[in-house]
Structure 1
Amino acid sequence: MRPREGLRVTTLVIVALVALIIGWVVMKWWVSGAHAVPEPGWVGLAVMAFLGGGVLVAGFQVKQVRDGRGQTAMSPMRAARTLVLGQAAALTGAVLTGWYASNALILLPDIDVASQLARLWPLLAHLGVAILLCVAGMVTQSMCRIKPPKHKDDDEDDEGRD
Protein backbone atom coordinates (compact mmCIF):
# COMPACT_ATOMS: atom_id res chain seq x y z
CA MET A 1 0.00 0.00 0.00
CA ARG A 2 1.34 3.41 -0.99
CA PRO A 3 1.12 6.32 1.43
CA ARG A 4 -1.05 9.28 0.48
CA GLU A 5 0.73 11.53 -1.93
CA GLY A 6 -1.22 14.70 -1.21
CA LEU A 7 -2.65 17.08 -3.74
CA ARG A 8 -1.92 16.15 -7.35
CA VAL A 9 -1.39 18.37 -10.37
CA THR A 10 -4.26 16.64 -12.17
CA THR A 11 -6.59 17.74 -9.38
CA LEU A 12 -5.48 21.33 -9.84
CA VAL A 13 -6.00 21.12 -13.60
CA ILE A 14 -9.51 19.74 -13.11
CA VAL A 15 -10.35 22.47 -10.58
CA ALA A 16 -9.03 25.15 -12.94
CA LEU A 17 -11.02 23.75 -15.86
CA VAL A 18 -14.24 23.59 -13.82
CA ALA A 19 -13.68 27.19 -12.67
CA LEU A 20 -12.96 28.19 -16.26
CA ILE A 21 -16.21 26.67 -17.54
CA ILE A 22 -18.34 28.08 -14.73
CA GLY A 23 -16.65 31.47 -15.00
CA TRP A 24 -17.10 31.56 -18.77
CA VAL A 25 -20.83 30.75 -18.49
CA VAL A 26 -21.33 33.38 -15.76
CA MET A 27 -19.36 36.02 -17.66
CA LYS A 28 -21.22 35.29 -20.93
CA TRP A 29 -24.48 35.84 -19.07
CA TRP A 30 -23.10 39.00 -17.43
CA VAL A 31 -21.84 40.49 -20.70
CA SER A 32 -25.07 39.62 -22.51
CA GLY A 33 -26.84 41.90 -20.03
CA ALA A 34 -24.86 44.89 -21.39
CA HIS A 35 -22.33 44.80 -18.54
CA ALA A 36 -18.58 45.03 -18.96
CA VAL A 37 -16.07 42.44 -17.83
CA PRO A 38 -14.95 43.56 -14.35
CA GLU A 39 -11.41 44.84 -14.15
CA PRO A 40 -9.29 43.19 -11.48
CA GLY A 41 -7.64 45.48 -8.97
CA TRP A 42 -3.90 45.63 -8.51
CA VAL A 43 -4.39 45.01 -4.81
CA GLY A 44 -5.50 41.46 -5.61
CA LEU A 45 -2.31 40.94 -7.56
CA ALA A 46 -0.20 42.09 -4.61
CA VAL A 47 -2.15 39.94 -2.16
CA MET A 48 -1.71 36.80 -4.29
CA ALA A 49 2.02 37.47 -4.64
CA PHE A 50 2.39 38.10 -0.91
CA LEU A 51 0.46 34.91 -0.07
CA GLY A 52 2.59 32.86 -2.44
CA GLY A 53 5.79 34.23 -0.92
CA GLY A 54 4.56 33.61 2.62
CA VAL A 55 3.59 30.04 1.81
CA LEU A 56 7.04 29.40 0.34
CA VAL A 57 8.79 30.87 3.39
CA ALA A 58 6.70 28.72 5.75
CA GLY A 59 7.42 25.63 3.66
CA PHE A 60 11.13 26.37 3.62
CA GLN A 61 11.14 26.60 7.42
CA VAL A 62 9.49 23.17 7.67
CA LYS A 63 12.03 21.77 5.21
CA GLN A 64 14.92 23.15 7.26
CA VAL A 65 13.62 21.50 10.44
CA ARG A 66 12.78 18.25 8.59
CA ASP A 67 16.34 18.05 7.24
CA GLY A 68 17.86 18.78 10.66
CA ARG A 69 19.21 22.20 9.72
CA GLY A 70 16.64 24.34 11.55
CA GLN A 71 17.72 26.69 14.30
CA THR A 72 14.68 26.08 16.49
CA ALA A 73 12.33 23.20 17.08
CA MET A 74 8.95 23.14 15.35
CA SER A 75 5.79 21.50 16.56
CA PRO A 76 4.29 18.81 14.34
CA MET A 77 1.04 20.79 14.39
CA ARG A 78 2.73 23.81 12.81
CA ALA A 79 4.25 21.61 10.11
CA ALA A 80 0.85 20.05 9.40
CA ARG A 81 -0.75 23.48 9.22
CA THR A 82 1.93 24.62 6.79
CA LEU A 83 1.17 21.60 4.60
CA VAL A 84 -2.55 22.42 4.62
CA LEU A 85 -1.78 26.08 3.91
CA GLY A 86 0.26 25.06 0.88
CA GLN A 87 -2.52 22.82 -0.41
CA ALA A 88 -5.10 25.56 0.14
CA ALA A 89 -2.91 28.04 -1.73
CA ALA A 90 -2.58 25.62 -4.64
CA LEU A 91 -6.34 25.07 -4.81
CA THR A 92 -7.04 28.80 -4.51
CA GLY A 93 -4.56 29.49 -7.28
CA ALA A 94 -6.27 26.89 -9.48
CA VAL A 95 -9.70 28.46 -8.97
CA LEU A 96 -8.34 31.94 -9.65
CA THR A 97 -6.53 30.66 -12.73
CA GLY A 98 -9.82 29.39 -14.13
CA TRP A 99 -11.64 32.61 -13.23
CA TYR A 100 -9.10 34.98 -14.79
CA ALA A 101 -8.76 32.76 -17.86
CA SER A 102 -12.54 32.81 -18.35
CA ASN A 103 -12.57 36.61 -18.14
CA ALA A 104 -9.73 36.82 -20.66
CA LEU A 105 -11.57 34.47 -23.03
CA ILE A 106 -14.61 36.74 -22.95
CA LEU A 107 -12.43 39.68 -24.06
CA LEU A 108 -10.65 37.80 -26.87
CA PRO A 109 -13.27 38.35 -29.62
CA ASP A 110 -12.85 42.13 -29.24
CA ILE A 111 -9.07 42.11 -28.89
CA ASP A 112 -8.63 44.40 -31.91
CA VAL A 113 -10.23 47.26 -29.95
CA ALA A 114 -7.55 49.17 -28.05
CA SER A 115 -9.68 49.60 -24.93
CA GLN A 116 -10.37 45.86 -24.73
CA LEU A 117 -6.70 45.08 -25.23
CA ALA A 118 -5.87 47.44 -22.37
CA ARG A 119 -8.35 45.56 -20.17
CA LEU A 120 -6.80 42.22 -21.13
CA TRP A 121 -3.31 42.95 -19.78
CA PRO A 122 -4.30 43.18 -16.09
CA LEU A 123 -6.28 39.94 -16.46
CA LEU A 124 -3.23 38.20 -17.93
CA ALA A 125 -1.06 39.54 -15.08
CA HIS A 126 -3.52 38.16 -12.53
CA LEU A 127 -3.64 34.87 -14.43
CA GLY A 128 0.15 34.59 -14.26
CA VAL A 129 0.30 35.32 -10.54
CA ALA A 130 -2.53 32.84 -9.88
CA ILE A 131 -0.49 30.15 -11.66
CA LEU A 132 2.52 31.10 -9.52
CA LEU A 133 0.32 30.73 -6.42
CA CYS A 134 -0.50 27.17 -7.54
CA VAL A 135 3.19 26.44 -8.01
CA ALA A 136 4.07 27.92 -4.60
CA GLY A 137 1.46 25.71 -2.93
CA MET A 138 2.72 22.57 -4.65
CA VAL A 139 6.35 23.38 -3.84
CA THR A 140 5.39 23.92 -0.20
CA GLN A 141 3.58 20.58 -0.17
CA SER A 142 6.71 18.87 -1.46
CA MET A 143 8.86 20.64 1.16
CA CYS A 144 6.58 19.33 3.91
CA ARG A 145 6.76 15.72 2.72
CA ILE A 146 8.41 13.32 5.13
CA LYS A 147 10.79 10.98 3.39
CA PRO A 148 9.90 7.31 3.95
CA PRO A 149 12.42 5.25 5.91
CA LYS A 150 14.66 3.02 3.86
CA HIS A 151 14.08 -0.72 4.27
CA LYS A 152 16.07 -3.55 2.77
CA ASP A 153 13.17 -5.35 1.25
CA ASP A 154 9.57 -5.10 2.39
CA ASP A 155 8.71 -8.39 0.71
CA GLU A 156 11.02 -10.39 3.01
CA ASP A 157 9.18 -9.08 6.07
CA ASP A 158 5.80 -10.12 4.67
CA GLU A 159 6.80 -13.70 3.71
CA GLY A 160 6.51 -15.02 7.27
CA ARG A 161 3.00 -13.62 7.73
CA ASP A 162 -0.19 -15.25 6.54
Structure 2
Amino acid sequence: MRPHAGIRVTTLVLAGLAMTVVAWLVLRWVAAGAAVPEPGWVGAAAMLFLAAGLVVAGRQVRTVRDGIPNPAVTPLRAARTLVLGQAGALTGAVLVGWYVANVLVLLPDADVESQRGRIWPFAAHAVVAVLLSAAGMLVQRWCRLRPRDDDEDADRP
Protein backbone atom coordinates (compact mmCIF):
# COMPACT_ATOMS: atom_id res chain seq x y z
CA MET A 1 0.00 0.00 0.00
CA ARG A 2 1.38 3.39 -1.00
CA PRO A 3 1.24 6.08 1.69
CA HIS A 4 -0.70 9.28 1.06
CA ALA A 5 1.53 11.95 -0.49
CA GLY A 6 -0.17 14.82 1.34
CA ILE A 7 -1.09 18.25 0.04
CA ARG A 8 0.68 19.11 -3.21
CA VAL A 9 1.80 22.53 -4.37
CA THR A 10 -0.44 22.22 -7.42
CA THR A 11 -3.43 21.82 -5.10
CA LEU A 12 -2.47 25.03 -3.32
CA VAL A 13 -2.04 26.90 -6.60
CA LEU A 14 -5.40 25.69 -7.88
CA ALA A 15 -7.13 26.62 -4.61
CA GLY A 16 -5.55 30.08 -4.69
CA LEU A 17 -6.48 30.64 -8.34
CA ALA A 18 -10.05 29.45 -7.79
CA MET A 19 -10.44 31.78 -4.83
CA THR A 20 -8.96 34.67 -6.82
CA VAL A 21 -11.46 34.19 -9.65
CA VAL A 22 -14.48 33.71 -7.39
CA ALA A 23 -13.57 36.59 -5.08
CA TRP A 24 -12.81 38.91 -7.99
CA LEU A 25 -16.19 38.17 -9.55
CA VAL A 26 -18.03 38.64 -6.27
CA LEU A 27 -16.16 41.84 -5.43
CA ARG A 28 -16.83 43.29 -8.89
CA TRP A 29 -20.51 42.33 -8.74
CA VAL A 30 -21.27 43.12 -5.09
CA ALA A 31 -18.91 46.04 -4.56
CA ALA A 32 -19.78 47.65 -7.93
CA GLY A 33 -18.22 50.98 -7.10
CA ALA A 34 -18.39 50.65 -3.32
CA ALA A 35 -15.16 50.87 -1.40
CA VAL A 36 -13.46 47.57 -0.63
CA PRO A 37 -12.81 47.44 3.13
CA GLU A 38 -9.14 47.49 4.05
CA PRO A 39 -7.68 44.54 5.92
CA GLY A 40 -6.68 45.11 9.51
CA TRP A 41 -3.12 44.50 10.59
CA VAL A 42 -4.47 42.16 13.24
CA GLY A 43 -5.17 39.67 10.44
CA ALA A 44 -1.56 39.73 9.29
CA ALA A 45 -0.34 39.37 12.86
CA ALA A 46 -2.69 36.42 13.41
CA MET A 47 -1.43 34.68 10.26
CA LEU A 48 2.19 35.20 11.37
CA PHE A 49 1.34 33.85 14.83
CA LEU A 50 -0.30 30.77 13.30
CA ALA A 51 2.66 30.18 10.99
CA ALA A 52 5.09 30.45 13.90
CA GLY A 53 3.02 28.06 16.01
CA LEU A 54 2.91 25.56 13.17
CA VAL A 55 6.67 25.71 12.73
CA VAL A 56 7.29 25.22 16.46
CA ALA A 57 4.93 22.23 16.64
CA GLY A 58 6.35 20.77 13.44
CA ARG A 59 9.90 21.14 14.68
CA GLN A 60 9.06 19.15 17.80
CA VAL A 61 7.62 16.36 15.67
CA ARG A 62 10.66 16.45 13.37
CA THR A 63 13.07 16.02 16.29
CA VAL A 64 11.13 12.96 17.48
CA ARG A 65 11.02 11.59 13.93
CA ASP A 66 14.80 12.03 13.75
CA GLY A 67 15.30 9.92 16.89
CA ILE A 68 15.45 12.40 19.77
CA PRO A 69 12.85 11.28 22.32
CA ASN A 70 10.29 13.75 23.64
CA PRO A 71 7.53 12.28 25.82
CA ALA A 72 5.27 15.27 25.06
CA VAL A 73 5.07 14.31 21.37
CA THR A 74 2.74 11.34 21.05
CA PRO A 75 1.70 9.74 17.77
CA LEU A 76 -1.70 11.44 18.11
CA ARG A 77 -0.06 14.82 18.59
CA ALA A 78 2.16 14.22 15.57
CA ALA A 79 -0.89 13.34 13.45
CA ARG A 80 -2.69 16.46 14.66
CA THR A 81 0.35 18.56 13.83
CA LEU A 82 0.38 17.11 10.33
CA VAL A 83 -3.30 17.90 9.84
CA LEU A 84 -2.83 21.43 11.18
CA GLY A 85 0.08 21.93 8.80
CA GLN A 86 -2.04 20.83 5.86
CA ALA A 87 -4.92 23.04 6.99
CA GLY A 88 -2.54 25.97 7.35
CA ALA A 89 -1.20 25.41 3.85
CA LEU A 90 -4.68 25.32 2.31
CA THR A 91 -5.89 28.28 4.37
CA GLY A 92 -2.87 30.30 3.34
CA ALA A 93 -3.45 29.49 -0.34
CA VAL A 94 -7.11 30.52 -0.18
CA LEU A 95 -6.23 33.73 1.67
CA VAL A 96 -3.64 34.55 -0.97
CA GLY A 97 -6.41 34.26 -3.55
CA TRP A 98 -8.70 36.54 -1.52
CA TYR A 99 -6.08 39.26 -1.07
CA VAL A 100 -4.91 39.06 -4.69
CA ALA A 101 -8.53 39.44 -5.84
CA ASN A 102 -8.80 42.59 -3.74
CA VAL A 103 -5.61 43.93 -5.31
CA LEU A 104 -6.99 43.17 -8.78
CA VAL A 105 -10.23 45.03 -7.99
CA LEU A 106 -8.27 48.10 -6.85
CA LEU A 107 -5.66 47.94 -9.63
CA PRO A 108 -7.62 49.84 -12.31
CA ASP A 109 -7.64 52.89 -10.00
CA ALA A 110 -3.96 52.57 -9.04
CA ASP A 111 -3.19 55.92 -10.66
CA VAL A 112 -5.13 57.63 -7.85
CA GLU A 113 -2.90 58.19 -4.83
CA SER A 114 -5.57 57.21 -2.29
CA GLN A 115 -6.31 53.93 -4.08
CA ARG A 116 -2.63 53.14 -4.49
CA GLY A 117 -2.28 53.46 -0.73
CA ARG A 118 -5.09 50.93 -0.28
CA ILE A 119 -3.39 48.34 -2.50
CA TRP A 120 -0.29 47.94 -0.32
CA PRO A 121 -2.06 46.48 2.76
CA PHE A 122 -3.72 43.84 0.58
CA ALA A 123 -0.39 43.00 -1.06
CA ALA A 124 1.29 42.74 2.35
CA HIS A 125 -1.45 40.42 3.59
CA ALA A 126 -1.01 38.26 0.48
CA VAL A 127 2.70 37.91 1.26
CA VAL A 128 1.94 36.93 4.87
CA ALA A 129 -0.62 34.39 3.62
CA VAL A 130 2.09 32.89 1.37
CA LEU A 131 4.26 32.55 4.48
CA LEU A 132 1.42 30.73 6.28
CA SER A 133 1.03 28.37 3.34
CA ALA A 134 4.78 27.76 3.19
CA ALA A 135 4.89 27.04 6.91
CA GLY A 136 2.12 24.49 6.48
CA MET A 137 3.96 22.76 3.66
CA LEU A 138 7.18 22.72 5.70
CA VAL A 139 5.39 21.15 8.67
CA GLN A 140 3.84 18.55 6.38
CA ARG A 141 7.32 17.67 5.13
CA TRP A 142 8.71 17.48 8.66
CA CYS A 143 5.89 15.16 9.75
CA ARG A 144 6.48 12.71 6.90
CA LEU A 145 7.99 9.41 8.01
CA ARG A 146 11.08 8.28 6.22
CA PRO A 147 10.90 4.86 4.57
CA ARG A 148 12.58 2.12 6.54
CA ASP A 149 15.02 -0.33 5.00
CA ASP A 150 12.79 -3.32 5.77
CA ASP A 151 9.87 -1.64 3.92
CA GLU A 152 11.86 -1.73 0.70
CA ASP A 153 12.59 -5.44 1.17
CA ALA A 154 8.88 -6.20 1.72
CA ASP A 155 7.94 -4.56 -1.60
CA ARG A 156 10.24 -6.83 -3.61
CA PRO A 157 8.77 -10.12 -4.92
TM-score, normalised by the number of residues in structure 1: 0.91
For 1:20 and 1:78, the matched residues in 2 are separated by: 33
Name the count of aligned residue pairs.
157
The 4+ residue runs of structure 1 with deviation greater than 4 A are: 151-156
Q: 2:21 aligned with 1:24, yes or no?
A: no
Question: Post-superposition shift, 1:155?
Answer: 8.4
Instruction: State the shift of 1:68 in Å.
Output: 1.3
SS class of match (2:149): coil
Deviations 1:83-107 (A, max 9, x none): 0000000000011000000000011
Does 1:143 find its partner at 2:142?
yes
Query: Residue in 1 aligned with 2:73?
Result: 74
Match of 1:15 in 2: 15
Aligned residue in 1 for 2:118:
119
Unaligned 5+ runs, structure 2: none
1:129 aligns to what?
128
Distance in structure 1 (CA, Å) of the matches to 2:155 and 2:133: 41
Equivalent residues of 1:65, 1:73 under 8 A apart? no
Unaligned regions of 5+ residues in structure 1, if any? none
- Post-superposition offset of 1:69: 2.1
Residue matched to 2:62:
63
Give the distance between the partners of 2:60 and 2:50, measured in 1 at CA.
15
Q: Partners in 2 of 1:49 and 1:156 — Cα distance?
A: 42
Q: Percent identity?
A: 55
The answer to whether the Cα contact below 8 Å between 1:62 and 1:143 also exists between their aligned partners in 2 is yes
TM-score, length basis structure 2 = 0.94
Mapped partners of 2:155, 2:9: distance in 1:
34
Larger Rg: 1
RMSD: 1.7
> How many angstroms does 1:38 deviate by?
1.3
